Amino acid sequence: MINLNSNLLGFFVTIIYAFFGGLIFSALNTPIPWLLGPMTAVFIGARFGRFQYNWPSWIRNAGLIIVGYSVGLSFTKEALFVVIGKLPSMLLVTVLLVCFCAGIAFVVSKLSGVDYPTVLTGSIPGGLTQLIIFAEEMKGIDLTTVTFLQVARLMMIIFFVPFLILGPFFKIRYSRCHKTICCSALRVPCMGI
């Protein structure tokens, strides 16, 4: 039986923590403050707080629709031509990345004692959901280890890449408007983004 009061309280606590996390990260002028701030605040609150957090699946699905629409809207004909022009280098980098991950997985497998297929599945970049489904269907792969490795990889990407890109290593100035960075990286005009 679902306790409506408990779910409603958990929903409001989640909203409040997420909002204040976004405000704090925004005040600190961090990259993507309204992603990293709420994620950090809700993680800390869920781990150390006294309330059971709740986020209805219909809100998550609505958010995914908005994200999908935004990504699809920004994929213009000019961007398609840029992708086609860079396709050979994209394929080369993909093959090199998979080979690099296979080599690292071999070393980690030998050092940790975890079987190679599990470490390889956990270290290959890809969609978290798709790789976990793949690991579920393959025999002999430890699903818990794959899930841990994939979630750790995803969290490191979400937290470290924005700071790496906008840090002192690259000559990109941080702006709250992401379209300048995206359009200059793709070398396309900033129309419709």
- Predicted pLDDT of residue 35: 85
- Residue pLDDT, tens place only, 23-52: 999 999 888 888 888 988 988 888 887 878
Q: Whole-model pTM?
A: 0.60
Measured over the CA atoms of residue 78, residue 31, residue 10 and residue 132, the dihedral's sign is positive
The chain-wide mean pLDDT, for the chain, equals 83
Residue 188 confidence (pLDDT): 46
Angle value at C-alpha 160, between 158 and 161, nearest 5 degrees: 75
pLDDT reading at 106 higher than 90: yes
- What average pLDDT does this structure show over 163-174? 70
Confidence of residue 73 (pLDDT cuts 50, 70, 90): confident
Look at residue 4 and tell me whether its pLDDT is greater than 60: no
On the question of pLDDT at 93 being above 90, the answer is yes
DSSP tag of 52: P
Strand, helix or coil for residue 136: helix
Write down the pLDDT at residue 175.
Answer: 55
Instruction: Give the whole-angstrom CA distance, residue 13 versus residue 17.
Output: 6
Cα 142 to chain centroid distance, Å, stands at 22
Give the whole-angstrom CA distance, residue 68 versus residue 62.
10
41 and 21 in contact (C-beta within 8 Å)? yes
Q: CB of 145 within 8 A of CB of 136?
A: no
| Confidence (pLDDT) at 172 | 63
- The proportion of the chain whose per-residue pLDDT surpasses 90, expressed as a percent, equals 31
